[in-house]
Amino acid sequence: MINRIITLSAVALLSSHSALAQVENGDFEKWNGNTPDNWSVIDSGIAVSPSSTQVKTGGLAAEITVNTGSQSSTDFLQTVSVEQGKSYDFAVSLYHTEGKVKARLYVDGYQNYSDNLQTNQWQEIRYSYTATTSKDIQVGLRFYDVSGFDGSEVVYVDNFQPTDTGSTPPTDTCNDTTATLTLVTDQYASETSWVLNNSSGSALYSGSGYNNSTTNTKDMCLSDGDYTFIISDSYGDGICCNVGNGSFTLEANGKEIASGGEFQSSQTVNFTIGDSGTTPPTEPPVVGDYYKSAEGKSGFALKTALYNIITNHNSQGYSAIWDLVKVADLDNYYEKDGSILDMYSEKPSSGDSTSFTKVTNQCGQYSKEGDCYNREHSFPKSWFGGKIEPMNSDGHHIFATDGYVNAKRSNWPFGEVGTASYTSSNGSKLGSAASGLGYSGTVFEPLDEFKGDFARAYFYMATRYENAVAAWEGNSTSSDAVLNGTNTTVFEPWMLSMLKRWHNNDPVSQKEIDRNQAVFEFQGNRNPFVDHPEFVSAIWGN
């Protein structure tokens, strides 16, 4: 009923005593010409004006015209003050007119997206935030163009909560079903995080940043539909009972949906809210309608079902990968400076030795690490026969990486290095394989922080190209070392064992979740092993 799944980003749980964040003029009733009072950042790529055409509450809303595809020019923000230890529930109502742009909520960083396909109706984006220190933070929106954007589109914005009028956020009044999470933390509460996703895989509620050994509750207003609840521990030892007696309980309609605390990296629960009441979790867990046809399957039947779901994506061409990585591969997680996040040179726990500005530092020529970044086929293109579509431009396995380090990696297999012949600035290594790996050739080893990312990209490739992968084994010496000539297990035993180990030891991060969504918006299919890490063991075993 409950399965291991993912590690989430540092997002905040609303505690039992919430605070008011003082979003000023969140109802957009006060204007000075075309400038709403108290909104201090209005970037050049958007035009704002008062409107009574579409209004959620009060007499006016903000009519925002997005007139650029450059996301760095579409911020709409104000500054609010938060207090250490207090929690805040932010929400904003949006009205999409054409569906060719989407909005992303900004709360001290980029958070949840709107559903751009819900046009000509109001919808809400919500995010819960707990302040770790007393400080000023920025709150607002950023707008993103999607396929079909013609250079100008109107989005109406209203009811940014909580406002300075003292009104409460929409979640305080629920006309649907209230689900309640009660979370008791252990003595390492900073390792605990959770998320509640809707049937499309979008996060509705999420939380982390707790104090040790405390009881926290969160009420969530849910309409009828399918949901996935995920709780994770970044250390991998659950929340009970090694260093405290942590636990969680999720309830709705007076019924317990799930409870627990003794897990490793994570647990997940799928449930339905509907007229018949809350249903218990299903097995195996599935993310809503997107994976519906895979429900109930396991082994290679599950793999084939996933292939049928994610095949026939909309290939955009290799040159378009530049447009993908300037959105999908930005460092909003470590330095949080918007530079290119290169997994071959990123230092997760200290300052980077190199830094790339998106677009500006695209390769180009290079003679040393740090000169420029290019597009790395983590699953080398020589393995599938060269510049062959759609593999050559599949964004789920292509990442922005340092050009020099990428060249060093070449088309060598990923592996674990015994003796290194080259080491990048962040410690990624090229060299002879370590004894005990089961392979005795040259391999490239990324940091532990990113090994799971690459493993899940490989499981994606094994699944998305199930119809072709069996023929790739003989394309090169390296592909022969990695692939076994089947479309079922796909990988040689040493590689499969290592990929599963990397997958388990480095759970899905928020970076991967966000990137999976960005690639989905780019080409129209998802990586199932980011959405559902348990699919790996369900297909290939433990």
514 in a domain, yes or no?
Answer: yes
**Among residues 10, 3, 538, which one has the least CA distance to residue 263?**
3
The structure tokens listed for 267 are: 């647990």
Query: What are the residues whose beta carbons fall under 8 Å from the beta carbon of 515, sequence distance 6 or more?
Result: 328, 329
**pLDDT class for 488, splitting at 50, 70, 90?**
very high
Average pLDDT over residues 86-115: 90
Looking at the fold, whether 393 and 467 belong to one and the same domain comes out as: yes
- Tokens 């760095």 identify what position? 72
**Among residues 144, 140, 162, 165, which one has the least CA distance to residue 153?**
144
Q: How many residues does the chain have?
A: 542
Looking at the fold, whether 493 and 369 belong to one and the same domain comes out as: yes
Spatial distance between the Cα atoms of 354 and 370, rounded to a whole number of angstroms: 5
83 in a domain, yes or no?
Answer: yes
SS3 406: helix
Spatial distance between the Cα atoms of 8 and 312, rounded to a whole number of angstroms: 29
DSSP annotation of 131 reads -
Tell me if 507 sits within 8 A of 265, measured CB to CB. Answer: yes
Look at residue 8 in the predicted model and tell me its pLDDT.
27
pLDDT tens by residue, 205-243: 878 777 788 888 888 888 888 888 888 888 888 898 778
Looking at the fold, whether 161 and 184 belong to one and the same domain comes out as: no
Where residue 218 sits, what CATH number does that domain have?
A: 2.60.40
Looking at the fold, whether 127 and 222 belong to one and the same domain comes out as: no
Look at residue 258 in the predicted model and tell me its pLDDT.
79
12 in a domain, yes or no?
Answer: no
381 in a domain, yes or no?
Answer: yes
Average pLDDT over residues 372-382: 96
Where residue 45 sits, what CATH number does that domain have?
A: 2.60.120.260
Look at residue 237 in the predicted model and tell me its pLDDT.
81
* Residues 202, 208, 211: CA angle, nearest 5 degrees: 165
Which range, 127-141, 192-206, 302-316, has the best average confidence (pLDDT)? 302-316
Task: Out of 113, 143, 165, pick the residue that ends a domain.
Answer: 165
Average pLDDT over residues 313-322: 95
**Among residues 461, 463, 449, 534, which one has the least CA distance to residue 500?**
534
Task: Out of 118, 137, 165, pick the residue that ends a domain.
Answer: 165
The structure tokens listed for 219 are: 């009420």
14 in a domain, yes or no?
Answer: no
Spatial distance between the Cα atoms of 266 and 167, rounded to a whole number of angstroms: 36
Q: Please state, for a pLDDT cut of 70, what percent of the chain lies above it.
A: 91
Looking at the fold, whether 89 and 127 belong to one and the same domain comes out as: yes
Average pLDDT over residues 2-18: 31
**Among residues 311, 313, 293, which one has the least CA distance to residue 466?**
311
Residue 426 dihedral angles phi and psi, to the nearest 5° = -100, 0
The structure tokens listed for 434 are: 């370590």
Looking at the fold, whether 137 and 182 belong to one and the same domain comes out as: no
User: Does the structure show a pLDDT above 80 at 66?
Assistant: yes
User: Does the structure show a pLDDT above 90 at 34?
Assistant: no
Looking at the fold, whether 269 and 215 belong to one and the same domain comes out as: yes
SS3 track for 87-107:
EEEEEEEEEECCCCEEEEEEE
Structural domain of 139? 31-165
441 in a domain, yes or no?
Answer: yes
112 or 13: whose pLDDT is higher?
112
Query: What are the residues whose beta carbons fall under 8 Å from the beta carbon of 477, sequence distance 6 or more?
Result: none
Q: Which helix (H) or strand (E) holds 193?
A: strand 192-197
Looking at the fold, whether 337 and 457 belong to one and the same domain comes out as: yes
Task: Out of 251, 283, 315, pick the residue that ends a domain.
Answer: 283
149 in a domain, yes or no?
Answer: yes
Tell me if 374 sits within 8 A of 439, measured CB to CB. Answer: no
Looking at the fold, whether 378 and 237 belong to one and the same domain comes out as: no
Looking at the fold, whether 340 and 489 belong to one and the same domain comes out as: yes
User: Does the structure show a pLDDT above 70 at 283?
Assistant: no
Dihedral sign computed on CA atoms, order 404, 406, 412, 416: positive
Spatial distance between the Cα atoms of 490 and 473, rounded to a whole number of angstroms: 9
Spatial distance between the Cα atoms of 165 and 526, rounded to a whole number of angstroms: 41
Looking at the fold, whether 246 and 266 belong to one and the same domain comes out as: yes
Tell me if 93 sits within 8 A of 161, measured CB to CB. Answer: no
Average pLDDT over residues 464-468: 96
pLDDT tens by residue, 183-203: 888 888 888 888 888 877 777
Tell me if 268 sits within 8 A of 280, measured CB to CB. Answer: no
Looking at the fold, whether 212 and 157 belong to one and the same domain comes out as: no
> What is the maximum span of the chain, computed from C-alpha positions, in angstroms?
71
The structure tokens listed for 224 are: 């009828």
**Among residues 107, 204, 118, 128, which one has the least CA distance to residue 155?**
118
Tell me if 225 sits within 8 A of 199, measured CB to CB. Answer: yes
Q: 279-282 long-range contacts, Cβ below 8 Å, gap at least 24?
A: 280/1, 281/1, 281/2, 281/257
pLDDT tens by residue, 420-457: 999 999 999 999 999 989 999 999 999 999 999 999 99
Spatial distance between the Cα atoms of 8 and 423, rounded to a whole number of angstroms: 29
Look at residue 396 in the predicted model and tell me its pLDDT.
98
User: Does the structure show a pLDDT above 90 at 495?
Assistant: yes
9 in a domain, yes or no?
Answer: no
The structure tokens listed for 316 are: 């955009």
Q: Look over the chain and give the mean of its residue pLDDT values, rounded to a whole number.
A: 86
Number of domains making up the chain:
3
